[in-house]
Structure 1
Amino acid sequence: MPEPPTPYAISIPDATLQDLNQRLDWAKFPTQLMSSDQDPWEFGVPAEEVKRLVTYWRNQFDWKKAESQLNKFPHYRTDIEVDGFGVLDIHCQIVLFIHQTSPVKNAIPLLFSHGWPGSFIEVKKILPMLAEADGMPAFHVVAPSLPNFGFSSGVTKRGFGWAQYAETFHKLMLKLGYSQYVTQGGDLGFWITRSMGLLYPDHCRASHMNMVASQPPKWSSNPLLALQHAIQPYSTHESNGRQRSAWFEREGFGYNLLQRTKPQTIGTALSDSPVALLTWIYEKLHDWSDSYPWTEDEILTWVSIYWFSVAGPEASVRVYYEASHLRSDEDIPYQKLIGHIPNVKVGFVHLPQEISIVPRTWAAAMGPVVQQTEYDHGGHFAAWEIPEVIVRDLRQMFGKGGPCYEIIGERGGY
């Protein structure tokens, strides 16, 4: 009989906090290269921003206060055995608001998968809204820390790719008693939820995603969509999206090339220097969001979760290498995940400041796509930036009258 998940509280030792403070005291700051139009962000995080945040981190930021806020959510740990990798210790937020407080039967189990440079914290803002059951779909929410992230185990053995992440989360849902479930994700969560749909279609019944990576539909496999794509001009949203994606590939993709080719090199810097970690993550928070007003406490809470992670901040970048260096036929290539995956219904949110924005015809070729919605604001960290939009879209997809209503068992509570 497997051991049930056990309650868990985040508690960073004082010695670890003291080590961080000492490293911040020793910080050495760069000079600033200036452009002709005086836009210091053109080159990355401005030196003055680094100094300001490091000073705040050292003298004003209260991790224990942030820790206390995080611990208001019910955290659990459990062991998951992954084929070829043994037992991993998985930290997860298993949030059963509706199940615990409502007579609603058969609430939908929802796995929320975060990405990089995010963490389980990304689910924080949508939880209270998903708990509102009056006339709305009811959800059991499971938001794990990915292996190698946050407070889950690290993996140093080669070969832990999309299939293993999918296996970990699938087994977690089964262990929690959810033989069928739906998923939500962006960034790495896009690839993981696609992998779960590919490998476990009898269990993963539908996926909702706020990032879309795809290619134009092919005449050989999707002639109608290919024709539509050929003759139908892009909408304003799609045209702007292609420009945004081109900017990302031209100016914002360097981190990906490094992490997918030499993860140990950048990992050394991230492991040794909290300032390096701060700038590596903060650049993405700034560039990938839609003018979101990040506060110092938000930024430093996100970065601190990486600094205090069980496996170390260097572990989080390994997935990029594993996903692009396949070792066996069991590994899942990118091309398969952006192709057509049958049997699992899909809903997409298209946001103007996402880093990958594709036309609707491209997305429609990826499977039984039942919902595509466009919004005029929002970026890469959607559940944090615009939580009300993600909740609205989930309710639309799974609510009464939606394309995935009653996709898992008999529904009630409407």
Structure 2
Amino acid sequence: MTEFPFEISIPDEKLVLLQKKLEVTRLPDELEDSGWAYGVPLEDVRRLLERWKTGYDWRKHESQLNSELPQFTRDIHVDGHGTLNIHYIHKTSEVATAIPLLFIHGWPGSFLEARKLLPLLTKPEGSVNVPKFHVVAMSIPGFGFSQSPRTKGFRLEQYAEVGNKLMLALGYDEYVTQGGDWGFPITCRIAKMYGGTYSKAWHTNMPIGDVPESTTEPALTGKEKAGLERTSWFRRASVGYLMQQSTQPQTLGYSLSDSPVGLLAWIYEKLVTWSDAYPWEDDEVLTWISIHWFSRAGPTASLRIYFEADINTAFSVPEPRPTIPLGLSHFPKDILVFPQSWTRDMGNVVFQQEHESGGHFAAYERPEYLADDLRKMFGKGGPAFGVVSGKTGYADL
């Protein structure tokens, strides 16, 4: 399992094809004064399309990503599914005793979700008394520049197997994990399958809770009621994508793989409505979308996780629940927002933090909040301090 340095280098012919497709885009009509009620406003898509055609410079952003992110690929054998070439970021700290951390992104994200978090964990400015981390941000199979599974039945256990084998191949016999969205069920399976042996603790910014059976539960606060209203909105008005991707991903894939603006609208809707008033810049959005458009297997591959993972059970903690330490970060504008009293039974919860702002893409929207939570959980005096043998995160210990 040799490691190879990797740089993003999209062939010129793919850029030419993208430009041709943008030039012949046919936009739909729109009802007057509809705003966001029917989906992404035509005005937004028209503006982004124009920028993509005439002003956006992919080569500039490609170069920035290559200079900023140390990227690699490595072949990982997956039992029953052959060998997959996996793309990942591996950013190490100067502190030899830094804590190895595996970051798992979700959909419609990619390795870009870890971009702002990396410097805060590996080399925070002016912070000598906080733990440092070695961070591995994997492009999960079928996303970004990782190879896609070629056979059916690639479930959460297989994604977990890839993550664990990658960390072992990098020399991290013990490590901790962090993830939201699909990062939650994948890190949960890592904790269940490899917890105690290799995986020593896990953290998620997407805590999942069940309605308590007890009638003696304390009354909900205003914030908790607002969180449940957010959850109700998502389940009522924002799950159409989930039903399609979990039942007929191939059918949707033809549109997303052929129309860059179709892909743009499909994902841009989630970036805006799932975040907490994050000020998305047009080039920022287009870079996010371009990673999907130029991905190794194409946009369809990333949809299949919804089908293969069994969406009815994926976002729950299986029994028996992992016993290794679990940390939870609550963000008010995530798509599923539950009271802390509902999430404390997800496992061996040793840390919970509620934030005043932030949404579904916490590592990207509020990286400083998430980094601080990880430092508190794994730092001196924290409930998971010292879980990785000989890796305290501090140079002076």
Q: TM-score range by the shorter chain?
A: over 0.9
Q: 1:269 and 1:292 mapped to 2: Cα distance?
A: 28
> Separation in 2 of the partners of 1:334 and 1:278?
26
Per the alignment, do residues 253 and 335 of structure 1 end up closer, same or farther by CA in structure 2, a change over 3 Å counting?
Answer: closer
Per-residue deviation, 1:361: 1.9
Alpha-carbon distance between aligned partners in 2 of 1:318 and 1:362, rounded to the nearest angstrom? 30
Aligned residue in 1 for 2:60: 65
Over the matched positions of the two proteins, sequence identity in percent amounts to 47
Residue 384, structure 1, aligned to residue 364, structure 2: yes
Q: What is the rounded CA distance, in whole Å, between the counterparts of 1:231 and 1:245 in structure 2? A: 19
In the TM superposition, what are the counterparts of 1:140-151 in structure 2 within 5 Å? 140-151=134-145
Q: Which residue of 2 aligns with 1:321?
A: 307
Q: Alignment partner for residue 14 of structure 2, among 7, 11, 16?
A: 16
CA distance, structure 2, for counterparts of residue 349 and residue 262 of structure 1:
32
Kindly indicate whether residue 38 of structure 2 is the aligned counterpart of residue 40 of structure 1: no
Partner of residue 287, structure 1:
273
Provide the C-alpha distance between the structure 2 equivalents of 1:232 and 1:18, rounded to a whole number of angstroms. Answer: 60
Q: Which amino acid aligns with 2:118?
A: L
> Please, which runs of 5 or more residues in structure 2 have no aligned partner?
none
Following TM superposition, the consecutive aligned residue runs of length 4 or more in structure 1 with deviations greater than 4 angstroms are none
For this pair of structures, how many residues does the alignment match? Answer: 389
Residue pairs, 1:67-146, within 5 angstroms = 67-72=62-67, 73-96=69-92, 98=93, 101=94, 104-130=95-121, 131-132=123-124, 134-146=128-140
Is 1:258 matched with 2:237?
Answer: no
How far off is 1:21 after superposition?
A: 0.2
Q: Distance in 1 between matches of 2:324 and 2:314?
A: 18
Partners of 2:275 and 2:365 within 8 A in 1:
yes
CA-CA distance at 1:60 after TM superposition: 0.5
Distance (whole Å) between structure 2 residues aligned to residue 124 and residue 365 of structure 1: 31
Q: What is the Cα deviation at residue 156 of structure 1?
A: 3.0
Within 2, Cα distance between the matches of 1:10 and 1:154?
A: 17
Number of the residue aligned with 1:369: 349
CA contact (8 A) 2:72 2:89 kept: yes
Q: How does 1:301-380 map to 2 (within 5 A)?
A: 301-324=287-310, 333-334=313-314, 337=317, 341-380=321-360
In the alignment, residue 347 of structure 2 is paired with which amino acid? Answer: G
Structure 1 stretch displaced more, 199-208 or 128-137: 128-137
In the alignment, is residue 407 of structure 1 matched against residue 387 of structure 2? yes
Change in CA separation of 1:83 and 1:348 when aligned onto 2, cut-off 3 Å: same
| Structure 2 CA distance for aligned equivalents of residues 216 and 364 of structure 1 | 12
Q: Do 2:87 and 2:139's aligned partners in 1 also have CA atoms closer than 8 Å?
A: yes
Structure 1 stretches of 5 or more lacking a match?
Answer: 219-225, 327-332
Aligned partner (choices 238, 247, 263) of residue 224 of structure 2: 238
User: Within 1, Cα distance between the matches of 2:109 and 2:146?
Assistant: 14
Which of 198, 204, 218 is the matching residue for 2:199?
204
